[in-house]
Amino acid sequence: MAAEIQISIRTECPPGACTCERESLLQDTQGDRRILMLTQTEEKRLIARIEAISSYNDLNRMIGLMHAQLGIRLRITPSPNEVKTLRGIIIQLDAQPGLCRKTRANIPAAIRRCLDARPEIAFAILDSHDLLGGI
């Protein structure tokens, strides 16, 4: 007889404070519940790991891991207008049930801090969208 493994899930937000739809996700038998494994402690570890990213390849690898392990779809693209500062780089998380409002704000903020600390990653993002023309 196999023992059941207990996985801790994110605690619910105070009523009215979040629009994560956690309860409806828990009730949906077909829903992707991987995002609920991102507890507050794990979110802090994820944010620290994002801030420690050292290269564009590492950033892409982290984006892939977040999608594979948590179901988070993250897109980082230059603005269709001019990119004069890092604010011209659009960091977007797709909406999904179970993704907390605070997490939706914390991940892009951590990526911006990473790009502030390592501008070469921002240049690689621009170059990957052919904005620098291979300069």
Convert the pLDDT of each residue in 28-78 to its tens digit: 888 888 898 898 999 999 999 999 999 999 999 999 999 999 999 999 988
Identify the pLDDT of residue 1: 47
* pLDDT, greater one: 49 or 95: 49
E strands in 2-88:
74-78
Q: Which of 2-6, 17-21, 71-75 has the lowest mean pLDDT?
A: 2-6
Token digits of residue 12: 């619910």
DSSP state of 105: H
Helix (H, G, I), strand (E, B) or coil at 132: coil
- Length of the chain counted residue by residue: 135
pLDDT at residue 133 tops 60: no
Distance CA 94, CA 90 (A): 12
Measured CA distances, 106 to 84, 99, 125, 131, 133 (Å): 23, 11, 20, 27, 32
User: How big is the CA angle at 115 (ends 114 and 121), to the nearest 5 degrees?
Assistant: 115
Q: Indicate the average pLDDT of the chain.
A: 85
Name the strand (E) or helix (H) holding 92: strand 89-93
When comparing pLDDT for 49 and 128, which is higher? 49
| pLDDT tier at 2, thresholds 50, 70, 90 | low
